[in-house]
Amino acid sequence: MKGVYFTMALTVGMMVLKKILTLPDAINICIDGFKMMIEPLTVLICAFLLKEVNDQLGLAQQTIISLKPYMTAELLPVIIFVVMAAISFATGSNWGVFVIILPIVVSLSNGLDANMAVVIGATLSASTFGSHACFYSDATVLTAQASGCTPFQHAYSQIPYAMISAVIAVIGYLVIAFFD
């Protein structure tokens, strides 16, 4: 936050010095900017709280552990993609899920002798799916704010494309599983 305040003060100072804006206009613009960002910041804070609750509950680890009996080296990328995409979508966290799950996925891959590059790719693509399809993820909220629409409208416009990509990814992981 100190960096944000410093940068904002420097920007306002430069705009006033270069006579782009008067000091009262620059301050009013800053206040309007803060007002405009209250809603997206509130949604992001709630998403981070939800992620923290899920982390403390061990949602991602429990999901992987409960699916472990069904995993084979060939099907691991597909299973990882589907489960992690669902978790990433439900929690609104993309990098958070990826960082928490990656050590578990790596040990599963080693234990099953699965293709590590494909499994990590499945984990990354699942996180990306969740980021683009979830209506309260950080990417969706900030993009919606910049676009002038609600997060729900933005996510609703992204879901068809995210689902097409997800289906193609699942088919691709199945092709790799059985024809590699």
Residue ranges of domains in the chain:
2-179
Q: Report which DSSP code applies to 68.
A: G
In one-letter notation, the amino acid at residue 68 is K
Q: What is the overall mean pLDDT for the chain?
A: 82
pTM: 0.65
Q: For residues 13 and 92, give the distance between their C-alpha atoms in angstroms, rounded to a whole number.
A: 37
Q: For residues 4 and 75, give the distance between their C-alpha atoms in angstroms, rounded to a whole number.
A: 46
Q: For residues 69 and 82, give the distance between their C-alpha atoms in angstroms, rounded to a whole number.
A: 16
Q: Check the CA dihedral 152-154-157-160 and report its sign.
A: negative
Q: What is the pLDDT of residue 163?
A: 92
pLDDT band of 109, cuts 50, 70, 90: confident
Q: What is the pLDDT of residue 172?
A: 93
Mean pLDDT of 3-9: 85
Would the pLDDT of 159 be above 80?
Answer: yes
Burial of 176 (0-12, 13-18, 19+ CB in 10 A): middle
**What b/e sequence results for 16-28 when a residue is b if at least 16 CB atoms lie within 10 Å of its CB, and e otherwise?**
beeeeeeeeebee
